[in-house]
Amino acid sequence: MPSLAVVGSQWGDEGKGKIVDYLAEEAQVVARFQGGNNAGHSVKVGEELFKLHHLPSGILRKGKLAVIGNGVVIDPGVLISEIDGLESRGVSVANLRISDRAHVIMPYHKLLDGAEERLRKGAKVGTTGRGIGPAYADKAARLGIRMMDIVDDGLLREKLGFLVPLKQRYLEMCGDATKLDGAAMLKEYSAHGTRLGPFVTDTGAIVRDALKKRKNVLFEGAQGTMLDIDHGTYPYVTSSATVAGNAASGSGVPPSAIDDVFGVVKAYTTRVGEGPFPTELLDDIGKTIADKGGEFGTTTGRSRRCGWLDLMVTKHAHALSGFTGLAMTKIDVLGGFDELKICTHYRLDGKKVAHFPADLRVLQKCEPVYKRFDGWEDLEGAALDRVLKRGFSALPENMRRYVRFVEKEMGVPVTMLGLGRRRHEILDLRKRKWKNK
């Protein structure tokens, strides 16, 4: 490794959890650096399925330090349920560390998430409703409550003293008549603080120390580049920076400490919630991909919109995060189609579009230009086992063509190739010789 950031290169749900779970075997520390419980990372270990929202995927590997960094927003009640759920399944969370600087999602954030969405009328973002946007907004407005505040109920009492009346007024303005109960909130969140207190610490210092000792550190991204607050399809984005640069700031380490960045690229594209999606397939092909890929949200259970792989999107992601490797997931889902397509670029008024447009009105007018590929048979059973044993050269020729085309266009090698849901159904191509030609 020794330090590697894993980030989503599309609209989230690329399979980051599975990639991090695989790589975590070699790491000593796994740190989440942004997002909150809007994230849903599914990891299949044997026949057991784990759905992680707050906890880094490294928690499933024994003995790894699992860090929730300062850039994350935490719903303490949800985190406690997640911890209890894992412990009841025999997974220890003794190695969990939570940043004292991480911000807390409060009950009024969840109410406001819903109220603001309702007020947007036709321009809903389609949020997960977890209070993420309002919590990050309060952080930026210096009205946030941090994990250290709930551990010390004196600090919490002081902050709630002015925040509850303020939020009450804002809720009323947003048309939500819920009466906030400051005393109940204080009691509930102090109890959460007592429960989580033993895990709360200066995680930045811990991760920096691990890096200094040349331990392998994995930074686990949530969401994806097109949901980035600055670089995504604003306003149809989440409220944090999802690009690799934030792995440093969101976990309290210098950018120079990050050696490698893997961009997770689903072999096709999906999106949950509202917003533009140029290569979306509204036909039977889109439906087949959704069914085969089990494309339902890990967090909200909503159907994911599906479309062809879009290199305008993944190139934008690479330009921002500087991938040193691509983890291509779910290529198995594309088996059994006669033909496949990849969007190589967009055309506008007869001209090739150079960069991903900021203006969604411009994006709407862009026409995706596709290259077509011959399909391949489904890779299952003995054929899959053979590939997992023999490696890249044993893959169907047309699948190799598809992968090589993406590598060439992106100028980045595919270092991992996901061939199924389970932990071992992945080709580790980090040692494969690759020439950029």
Q: Would you name the residues annotated as active-site residues?
A: 13, 41
3-class secondary-structure state, position 146: strand
Q: Which residue from 130, 192, 315, 345 is in contact with ligand IMO, where contact means CB under 6 A?
A: 130
For position 57 contacting ligand IMO by CB under 6 A, the verdict is: no
**Shortest Å, Cβ 326 to ligand GDP:** 13
> Of the ranges 129-137, 203-211, 387-395, 420-428, which one interacts with ligand IMO (CB under 6 A)?
129-137
Eight-state DSSP code of residue 120: T
**Shortest Å, Cβ 165 to ligand IMO:** 25
Which residue's CB is nearer to ligand GDP, number 24 or number 353? 24
Which of Mg ion, ligand GDP, ligand IMO, none does residue 18 bind (CB under 5 to 8 Å by kind)?
ligand GDP
**Which among 349, 387, 390 has a CA at the least distance from the CA of 367?**
349
3-class secondary-structure state, position 84: helix
First to last CA, the chain: 25
Which of ligand IMO, Mg ion, ligand GDP, none does residue 332 bind (CB under 5 to 8 Å by kind)?
ligand GDP
3-class secondary-structure state, position 409: helix
**Shortest Å, Cβ 223 to ligand IMO:** 4
Measured CA to CA, the distance from residue 408 to residue 414 in angstroms comes to 10
> Of the ranges 37-45, 182-190, 196-204, 373-381, which one interacts with ligand IMO (CB under 6 A)?
37-45
Q: Angle at the Cα of 323 (from 320 to 328), degrees rounded to 5? A: 115
Burial 353-367 (b: 16+ CB within 10 A, else e): beebbeeeeebeebe
For position 12 contacting ligand IMO by CB under 6 A, the verdict is: yes
Measured CA to CA, the distance from residue 418 to residue 264 in angstroms comes to 10
Instruction: Indicate the residue type of 327.
Output: A
Which of ligand IMO, Mg ion, ligand GDP, none does residue 38 bind (CB under 5 to 8 Å by kind)?
ligand IMO
Binding region for Mg ion (CB under 5 A)? 13, 40, 298
Measured CA to CA, the distance from residue 27 to residue 21 in angstroms comes to 10
Measured CA to CA, the distance from residue 237 to residue 245 in angstroms comes to 17
Which tokens is 219 given? 């930074």
Which of ligand IMO, Mg ion, ligand GDP, none does residue 133 bind (CB under 5 to 8 Å by kind)?
ligand IMO
3-class secondary-structure state, position 197: helix
Phi, psi of 425 (to 5 degrees): -85, 65
In contact, 240 and 223? CB cutoff 8 Å: yes
**Shortest Å, Cβ 294 to Mg ion:** 12
In contact, 132 and 105? CB cutoff 8 Å: yes
**Shortest Å, Cβ 387 to ligand GDP:** 12
Q: How many CB atoms lie within 10 A of CB 313?
A: 24
For position 164 contacting ligand IMO by CB under 6 A, the verdict is: no
In contact, 100 and 200? CB cutoff 8 Å: yes
Which of ligand IMO, ligand GDP, Mg ion, none does residue 130 bind (CB under 5 to 8 Å by kind)?
ligand IMO
Which residue's CB is nearer to ligand GDP, number 164 or number 243? 243
**Shortest Å, Cβ 298 to Mg ion:** 4
Draw the binding track, 256-285, toward ligand IMO (x: CB under 6 A; -: no contact).
----------------xx------------
For position 251 contacting ligand IMO by CB under 6 A, the verdict is: no
For position 233 contacting ligand IMO by CB under 6 A, the verdict is: no
Using CB under 6 A, list all residues that contact ligand IMO.
8, 11-13, 35, 38-41, 125-128, 130, 132-133, 222-224, 227, 238-239, 272-273, 298
